[in-house]
Amino acid sequence: MADLRMTGVRRRSPSGPFPAVTAIAAVGGAAVYVGAYDIGADAPHSRPIYWLIEQFRDRSIAVRARDVVVPASLTDVKRLQSGAGLYTEMCSGCHLAPGLAKTEISQGLYPQAPELFREPQRSAKEQFWVIKHGVKLTAMPAWGKTHSGESIWDMLAFVRQMPKMSAAQYQTAVASAPEDHDAMMKDMPGMAKVVP
């Protein structure tokens, strides 16, 4: 029998957390394979899973939004008017607005979309980042693929004013929007009409 020390091969058992990590990975892999976790939007996450997802989401947004520069013109009337039109067309179905009843979409989302008219949920930097890039595994799209930074700031400016609005003020703001959504979108990236 060859001397194992001489061949440079050592016998030792796994040390530290290796066996525990291996066991957790095996159990997790088996759970994924058999479909043990109900991914349906009508089956909420457990509290620990939801907490973990929130931590990942919130830290990811905070880190990536650090360098966003907020324009000084967030209260400009033209910006707010444009934002009113964009928000109504693109956001109100999920996030609602003052005086709007829950929609079929808003009731079926999981996680639920925040009702942005109740109060600003995040800093302006973070809100801009979320609107531009969206959030994976939610219904929040990345509006930056089809909308300019200016139009995103318009939406954000309006969102930040909504908590101060009554239902009547919201309707007045929407009526003051400069043009309909299709007209605003005609020159946006990715929105060119396909000619048959």
pLDDT at position 184 is: 66
Of 1.10.8.80, 1.20.1560.10, 1.10.760.10, 1.10.3720.10, the CATH number of 50-185 is 1.10.760.10
The model's pLDDT over 78-127, given as tens digits with 9 standing for 90+, comes to 999 999 999 999 999 999 999 999 999 999 999 999 999 987 679 999 99
Helix (H, G, I), strand (E, B) or coil at 36: coil
Interacting residues of 161 by C-beta distance below 8 A, sequence separation 6+:
75, 80, 173
Interacting residues of 189 by C-beta distance below 8 A, sequence separation 6+:
145, 146, 148
In the structure, how many helices (H) and strands (E) does the chain have?
10, 0
Interacting residues of 122 by C-beta distance below 8 A, sequence separation 6+:
61, 130
140 phi, psi to nearest 5 deg: -80, 110
pTM given for the model: 0.78
